[in-house]
Structure 1
Amino acid sequence: MTQDNRHCASQPPANSKRRFLLDLVALSTTVGLAGTAQAALPGSADFQPKRRQGMEGKRFGMLVDMRKCIGCQACTVSCSVENQPPIGQFRTTVLQYEVDQSDGSAPAMVSLPRLCNHCDEPPCVPVCPVQATFQRTDGIVLVDNERCVGCGYCVQACPYDARFINHETQTADKCTFCEHRLEAGLLPACVESCVGGARVIGDLNDPNSEINQRIHAQQKDIKVLKPGMNTQPHVFYIGLPDEFVNGVDGQATVRLVAEH
């Protein structure tokens, strides 16, 4: 598997980057740069800070059926209209990938929806020196923009490249599963606007929810991105090619060589 040279050159080794960030946070808390709201550090009992109150008894997740995604970007547009990120910055998008075929035939085009994975063990939470990034009891990961100082630690810690520093607010920004809509009994903008019905969101604690039923029916085909990171992502994919499970980095389009 090979990737576009420009893309690869901009990506530092994941392990060394993570180690550097953790060491940097530890140093900042030691010398008092983080103030009274210190980040929980590896090895402590509260490495993942206590979750804040969410929707009682629920655990939200999203299922993306790539067989139904046509790459129309309706989800990207509707998310931008709903959440108003700066022009040119997106909380979710559908990236286009070109996969070389081993038999020499024409490359296949793959549309891959990308967004925050609202992990059960989110690496973005413990690295925040002021605990502006937090997780709710219903699994949704959010950012307190009044507390965020825009240091970018969480942006670097996310293995899914799902975060960015908002150009206007100078604070961390990302997909929130449109929690304000969920709390009002509505679907996230991206789910509601998907013309192919490729996105499904629901309560994973409810055995009768559509997402649970579909995951159960397609269990052998369910995959997540970068399972080896042990973040326990809660965005699940159907139809995700094996080459993408551990081989997708960054937001730039890459060229992958099919191995199977």
Structure 2
Amino acid sequence: MTHYGFVIDSKSCISCHSCAVACKVENNLPDSIWWNRILTDGGPNMDTPAGTYPNLTIRNIPMGCQHCENPACVKVCPVGATYQDPETGVVRQDYDKCIGCRMCMSACPYTGVRSFNWEEPQYAIGQPMGSLDIPQHQKQVVEKCTMCWHRLAQGEKPACIEPCPARIRFWGDFDDPSSEVSQLIREREYMQLLPEQGTRPSVYYLV
């Protein structure tokens, strides 16, 4: 039994969006769909600080599916299209089962981590790109981060981990006390998003 998840050093994120782009390319995401985004805790616009010069503050928060241990989305899906893999804890999405009711989107407390394909997926270069192992995107279904399930099945890390130039993203097994992610949350102060919701997210932000 494993419990995969992420540790993200949000204090050191430089908002380069490399993780978001790597995710989009690897998973062949349609136009306007992003499974991983960089939110700015600062000014009113992306990558802008709060305050008045020289007293400025800014923090970048990479945001995607939290792959919760107690996922609200799984409980409300009427057809089992949103489900939790019992071996890894990864919250997955079955496009073939999805009926487009969007109950999972409504139940998820983390706004914006899911997307809905209203139309047939369109691509900027006119053809698919990325891994050949990903499921085909479909019209009228919900999408979200899969933790690069196709890569995990081959013993690889999610695509967002390796291209990060600041090395602020970590992935591993929280059930393994010797793993890098387990060591980080033992040694560093961290926060989780909306812990009061009781979802027990598998993403920890170092602070």
Task: Compute the TM-score of the two structures, normalised by the length of structure 2.
Answer: 0.82
Give the whole-Å Cα distance in 1 for the aligned partners of 2:58 and 2:203.
Answer: 22
Q: Which residue of 2 aligns with 1:205?
A: 175
- In proportion to residue count, which structure has more helix? 1
Q: Following superposition of structure 1 onto structure 2, how do residues 21-170 of structure 1 map, counting pairs within 5 Å?
A: 57-98=1-42, 100-101=50-51, 106-137=55-86, 138-161=88-111, 162-167=113-118, 168=121, 169=138, 170=140
SS at match of 2:62: strand
Residue of structure 2 equivalent to 1:225: 193
Letter in 2 for 1:231: T
Helix, strand or coil for the counterpart of 1:191?
Answer: coil
User: What is the letter of the counterpart of residue 152 of structure 1?
Assistant: R
Deviation at 1:205, TM superposition (A): 1.0
Aligned-pair Cα RMSD in Å: 1.6
Please tell me whether Structure 1 or Structure 2 has the larger radius of gyration of its CA atoms: 1
The 3-state SS of whatever aligns with 2:5 is strand
More strand by share: 2
1:179-223 C-alpha deviation (Å, 9 max, x unpaired): 1111211111111111111110101111111111111111xx111
Secondary structure of the residue aligned to 1:96 is strand
Checking the alignment, whether the CA contact within 8 Å between 1:63 and 1:237 is kept in structure 2 is: yes
Q: AA paired with 2:26?
A: E
Preserved CA contact (<8 Å) 2:74 2:82: yes
Give the TM-score taking structure 1 as reference length. Answer: 0.66
Letter in 1 for 2:175: N
Identity of aligned residues (%): 38
AA aligned to 2:12 is: K
1: CA distance between counterparts of 2:32 and 2:142?
15
- 2:37 and 2:63 mapped to 1: Cα distance? 6
CA distance in 2, matches of 1:187, 1:92: 15
Supply the distance in 2 between the matched residues of 1:65 and 1:107 (Cα, whole angstroms). Answer: 20
Contact 1:140 1:177 in 2 (8 A): yes
Paired residue secondary structure (1:81): helix
Residues matched between the structures, number: 180
- The answer for unaligned runs of 5 or more in structure 2 is 44-49, 122-137
